[in-house]
Amino acid sequence: MLGVVRWHAADARGRRAASTGAPRACLRGGGYAGCQAEAIRIPNADGTLLATPERPDDAMIPSLLALSDVMGTGWHAAVSARVREGGTVVVVGDGAVGLSGVLAAAQLGAGRIIAMSRHADRQALAREFGATDVVAERGDEGVEAVKELTDGIGADSVLECVGTQDSVVQALRSARPGGMVGWVGVPHVTELPQEHMFWRNVGPAGGVAPVRAYLPDLLARVLDGSMDPGRVFDLTLPLEEAAEGYAAMDERRAIKSLLRP
């Protein structure tokens, strides 16, 4: 978090972490366990939080909440994968982060965005966020479908937004020679197959998203109406029903649950 970097501004290592665009990786940094409560004390809030110009309309709350987590993470995947104007992008994962990655790729000017999704509601939102194609297949069939859409080459940029062994391998195999994989899915991986990286010059990048570093740009895009990431919230519940919100997401009855006091 940027607040951690500012707290240790005299520390050269902290300054280097910030200068490389990775303030979340400050060697003297710290954090706190997440929570769901009516109130929370934010450490180093002067540098961690970003104030809106004025009290936002209630309708904007979902998009602002999305910026604090899933949208910033999807954006980090797109930046790490070096999404560029006119480029071809594959997004592995159709959860809230994956869908945010689709939106991020569209905002960064990708010419073709292939969303890998098996669920009709998520496919529809992916298209509304900017996906030009949807691939439901996985494994060899999924890679072949991507190749068919990219003239047999693969994607310039691949966003890995799941973190399982299968999804990471899927992402690496979907990249073109010389392509990049922006990996933000929390890893549950036993090994990385070298044949899909070293011999094809495909590089993975990413990690824990430095969300605070992206917030000024993302907030401006929400405030001017350029994007509406809050649409990933498709279930709203009172705070006391948080367990149901988690169950709905786990059972694929909801993409993302929003809790209100």
pLDDT at 46: 77
pLDDT digits (tens, 9 = 90+) for 117-164: 999 999 999 999 999 999 999 999 999 999 999 999 999 999 999 999
Between these two residues, 14 and 219, which has the higher pLDDT value? 219
pLDDT at 1: 27
CA distances from 70 to 102, 136, 185, 231, 249 (A): 12, 22, 11, 12, 14
pLDDT at 11: 45
Between these two residues, 4 and 205, which has the higher pLDDT value? 205
Domain ranges of the chain: 2-68+213-260, 74-206
pLDDT at 34: 63
The residue length of the chain stands at 261
Phi, psi values for residue 51, rounded to 5°: -80, 145
Of 9-13, 61-65, 149-153, minimum mean pLDDT range: 9-13
pTM for this predicted structure = 0.89
pLDDT at 18: 55
pLDDT at 7: 32
Of 20-34, 100-114, 222-236, 247-261, minimum mean pLDDT range: 20-34
What integer is the mean pLDDT of 21-40?
69
pLDDT at 55: 92
CATH number 3.30.1330.10 is the correct assignment for the domain at 74-206: no
Are β-strands 175-183 and 203-206 bridged in parallel, bridged antiparallel, or unpaired?
Answer: parallel
pLDDT at 104: 98
pLDDT digits (tens, 9 = 90+) for 69-121: 999 999 999 999 999 999 999 999 999 999 999 999 999 999 999 999 999 99
Query: What is the C-alpha separation between 29 and 212, in angstroms, rounded?
Result: 14
